[in-house]
Structure 1
Amino acid sequence: MDNFLEINLQALADNFKKISDFVGSDTSIMGVVKSNAYGHGLEKCALALDRVGCKWFAVTDIFEAQVLRKILPQSAILILGPVSRDDFSSAISGNFRLTIDSENDLEFLAGKAQIFGKRATIHIKVNTGMNRFGCDPLKVVSLVEKAKNYSSLFVEGIYSHFYNSADHEAIEKQWKIFSEVLFDLQKKDLEIPLRHIANSDAVFLNDQVWLELIRLGLALYGLAEQNVLALAPVLNWKAKILKIRGVSQGECVSYGCDYKAKKDFVLAIIGAGYADGYSRALSGKAEVLVSGKKCKVVGRINMDYTFIDITSAMRVSQKMSPAEGDEVILVGRQDKEEITVNDLARWAGTIPHEIVSRLPESAERRLVDRQIVNRQRLNYLTNDVT
């Protein structure tokens, strides 16, 4: 492969342990592994988290849930997104936790579960301001009362979702609505064992929102904006130099001649493009690491290739200069320099979630043991996560 991802499962495990110690034993971590574990690789990341004590997992849809169930038969798996009624039977047989926010879905699910002779487990979602999914706060008590009248349903959890978890005021506003709903349920003696609203950034900004569960995505992968625990990035991204050539002043580079050389320079073409998840929006903005030096992306990023000005990385000795076949760092550290996922997001005008979730499932993911990396001997694991 001309580019590949290195996934440090030891860093993932360490991040889980740090956060678990931080929140204490009264709060459990739900590992959010939706969108192929934020591009890091669903199965390997889930197995690594399971081995360090993560018993709760969250996914977007039933397809991700079914992949998880094959490798984690005993784990609790919550499907965060809506599940088609056509898939209710599969969800019940897979023992997945379903998100419910309407009476119609509640009644239909109860009927399906009764037919199967099983008890479906549900988490009620409350709309506290995101206005995506969730029950109106004023209707939650009625919905829970109805759910508890069905012997085929178990109301295990209730939750909501912050729309701006990096903002204290926004957190307080939604927390007030959610806590009022919880109080109304308590007044009616409608007990629900598990409550959750906190996500990665909120965990570090407001400890009153921890409750029985916290849902962690970015923080586990070392990508959260709030990084008070010095959580380590789990992902590195590397590409190979395929061609090095000289470009003369006035010559064009890449499609459209958007970039015209202002002076003679040394150009490297690397084997990564927008088909690999290296966004076209990074054209002319991003930097990569070549021989420990930050080098600029020039010209338009192609489907499979990107153009780099490596003049600053060239040495007096040709043997010390970059060569075809050398590795370039798209995300990661080299010598004293580092390029982060957050850097890519800033250059592309987006968020880190988008950068990593758009990494193709077909991308090569090499599993790296941290201790071996520290000894400067890479060992690529293929069948194990230890």
Structure 2
Amino acid sequence: MGCWALLGSLALPACQTTPAERPDTLVNLATVQSGPRVQADELNGAIAREPRNTALLARRATLRLAAGQPRAALADVVAALQIDDADAGLYFLQARAFRALGQLPDALAAARQAADRGFTGPELPLMVGETHLAARNYAAALDNLDRTLRLDPDQPAALFYKGLAYAATADTSTAVQYLQDALARNPREPEILHQLAFLLNAWRIPADAARYAALGLRLDTASGLLHYDYGRHLELQGQPDSALWYYRRALALDTTVYRADYRLGLAAAKARRPAVIIQHLTRALRRNPRLPQARALLAEALETQNRLPEAIAQYRLLVAENPGNPHWTFKVWKIGGKAQALLPDSLRPAPRNYYRRPAPVRPLPIAPLPTLTPSAR
């Protein structure tokens, strides 16, 4: 350090007595802890000293929600409500915790308690609308989202959820309009871009879908859903090989993208690769048991691979889903017989003995009547 750093200060004599400089030490960022979970833990001491401070409990609950710890957050809220059951904000926090746990009726009940106690912020109808959306109660969802937009007309989350609600009711054009409005207010949100790309692909407008998917991938290169969206646009535009690469990449990033499994399973069916069909469609059907043609393709692939017990299980599900269908009923009978034939004698069920009506007993022929002899008189 030189005297230029102290120019104009009153400590001018310090220039002659500057201590020896110490080398800079880089901080190991791996050891630096931050984030909502750590911040929540840092409140433990303060709450231990003031266990009846509801503001501290509410603060820790909020941080725990942000850290993905809804059960711990709910415990804090319950403790705070035992101290002060008239605080509307605590009921809203409780509703958020229930929603994070997937307990939708409890979340709506807590939200009503918050409203009854005077909570008036737009975040309350927004949360209620999203909860109704998750419960597939679309009319109630739209009502609450409209209420949110009356309080905050530029709320992108409300516009986004309205788009999802209209998409769920098959009003795709209105859904796209609301999603575009949400994107205009929050242009760097990958989830909005994914939903737009997905809907436009479903609406068979792949060129527009590609634009949104590409923008989303620039913002979030690790999104499995956006990789699927981009692959789907390629498939719709006649580039199946490139699409398959994106589907595989989507699954490498996120194994829950079951639509990528489904598309890979359909492609394997065209290429007559039963082992690959089984791999992808088994996983896809666990996520969505109603995928078109998926169960039939899986059952036939299992039969081809001689995995007969698994095949008959799928054929029985097809019979349950298509009652009265003679083809699947015949398959259950046919494969069931084959599967039993493969079992060892000790495991093979005994032959069924069906009741048969006994054969009628023929009556004995009528014996000839004895001849009558005249009696002597």
TM-score (norm 2): 0.26
More strand by share: 1
Structure whose alpha-carbon radius of gyration is higher = 2
More helix by share: 2
Report which structure shows greater RCO (CA 8 Å, sep ≥6). 1
